[in-house]
Amino acid sequence: MKKNSEPTIHDIARELNISASTVSRALNNNPRISLKTKEKIKQVADDLGYRPNTLASNLRNKKSNTIGIVVPLINRHFFSSVISGVEDVAYKAGYTVVISQSNDLYDKEINIVHSMFSNRVDGLIISIAMQTDSFEHLKLFRKKNIPLVFFDRVVPEIETDKIVVDDFAGGFKVTQHLIDQGYKRIGHLAGPQNLMTYLDRKKGYLEALRKNEIPYDDSLTIVNTLTSEEGVPAVQQLLELPNPPDAIFCGNDATALSVMIYLRDRGIRIPQDMGIVGFSNEPYSKVVSPSISTIAQPGFEMGQKAAELMIRKIENKEKTFQTFVLPTELIIRDSSNRKNYQSQ
C-alpha cells in the first residue's frame, strides 16, 4: 500500500484478488454480488479503515450531494435559524450544506454564487444581498437548470421556488395594531425598497392607513438600511418634524431597539408618548424592556421548507415552481400596548 494515502476500492480488490467493480458493487449493496462476497469485502473494508472518496463518486455521478446556501450574514438570528432548518432537513436526506455570507455586498455575492456553481452544488438556496440589483449570476442557475430556491429576499423577475413570509400582511397587521391602540400619526422606518420584503412591509403599512382613512404623509417614512446605527438619525429626523409621529413602525427589531433606547434617553415614554413596533421577532425583542411588539418570522421552518422543496427538485419529484408564503404572527408586547398600559 502506498504511503500516506487513503485505501481505495482497488486496495480492497487487491487484497481479495477480485476486481474493483465488484468491490464497488458490494459496498453499494448491488444484488449482482453474492452475499458471501459482500461480507468478505465489507470485512476487509473495515480492516483497512476504508472510507469512500465522495469526490470521486461525485465526479463520476455528476452529483455532489451538496446544497449551497447564501445569506447576507450568518451571524444574525433569523438567518442562522434558516440555515439551521436547512441543515436539519438536508442532513437527514444525506446532503451536505455549504454556506457563505454575502455581507450584503453585490460583488461578494457574485463570487460566491460562481464558486458554488464551480463546486457543482446540486442546488442553491439564497437570500440576496441588500446591494444586489442585477441578477445575471442567479439566472445562470436557472439557465443551467440547477434548482434555485429563494427565501425571504426573493427576486420577482426570476421564476423559481420561493419561500417568503407575508410581509405585506405583516406590515398591515402591525400598522393596524398601532391604529387600534389609538395612535394617530404613524411613522415608518423602511428598508431598501429594491428588496421585496421591505417594499411589501411598506405596502402593508400604506394599505392599513388607507383602510383607516388616515392620509399618508411622505415625510413620515424614512428609508435606510435598518442598522442600529442608522436608527438614531432617522428618529431624530422624525422628531424634528413640525408634526412628529406618535408611533413608529420600524422595519426590523434592531432599529426598533436603537430607536427605543434613544427615546428613553430623551425622556420620551414608550408606549405612552410613542408606540414602537419592530419586525422579525429577534430573541431579544421579548426580553428587553419595554418588550418590543413585532412580527414573528418562522426562520427555522422557512429553512426546512426551503430544503424540502430543494430536495424534491433535485430528486426530480417535483417539476413546477411554487411560492410558499408562510404566515406571520403579530406579537403584541409592551412597546405598543398603550391601552393595556393605561388600564393598569
Question: C-beta of 298: minimal distance to a second copy in Å?
Answer: 12
Among 15, 42, 48, 57, binds DNA (CB under 7 A): 57
Among 48, 288, 296, 326, binds a second copy (CB under 8 A): 288
How far is 134 from 322, CA to CA, in rounded Å? 22
Residues 6+ apart with CB under 8 A from 264: 270
Count of residues binding DNA (CB under 7 A)?
Answer: 30
Contact 296, 328 (CB under 8 A): yes
| Secondary structure of residue 182 in the 3-state scheme | coil
Q: Tell me if 59 contacts DNA by CB under 7 A.
A: yes
Q: How far is CA 225 from the centre of its chain?
A: 17
Please identify, using beta-carbon distances, which residue of 1 and 325 lies nearer to DNA. Answer: 1
Residue 267: contacted member of a second copy, DNA, none (CB under 5 to 8 Å, by partner type): none
How far is 267 from 168, CA to CA, in rounded Å? 33
| Secondary structure of residue 81 in the 3-state scheme | helix
Count of residues binding a second copy (CB under 8 A)?
Answer: 51
Question: C-beta of 48: minimal distance to DNA in Å?
Answer: 11
Question: C-beta of 84: minimal distance to a second copy in Å?
Answer: 4
Question: C-beta of 287: minimal distance to a second copy in Å?
Answer: 4
How far is 198 from 155, CA to CA, in rounded Å? 13
The three cell numbers of residue 132 are 444586489
Q: Tell me if 62 contacts DNA by CB under 7 A.
A: yes
Contact 205, 185 (CB under 8 A): no
Alpha-carbon distances, residue 127 vs 41, 44, 133, 314 (angstroms): 45, 46, 13, 19
How far is 123 from 279, CA to CA, in rounded Å? 29
The interface mask with a second copy, positions 139-168, x = CB under 8 A, is -x---xx-----------------------
**Helix pair angle (35-48, 20-27), 10° resolution:** 90
Interactions with a second copy, residue window 32-91 (CB under 8 A): 49, 51-56, 58-59, 64, 66, 73-77, 80-81, 83-84, 87-88, 91
Interactions with DNA, residue window 17-56 (CB under 7 A): 17-22, 24-25, 27-28, 32-34, 36-37, 50, 52-53, 56
Site residues (CB under 7 A) for DNA? 5-6, 8-10, 13, 17-22, 24-25, 27-28, 32-34, 36-37, 50, 52-53, 56-57, 59-62
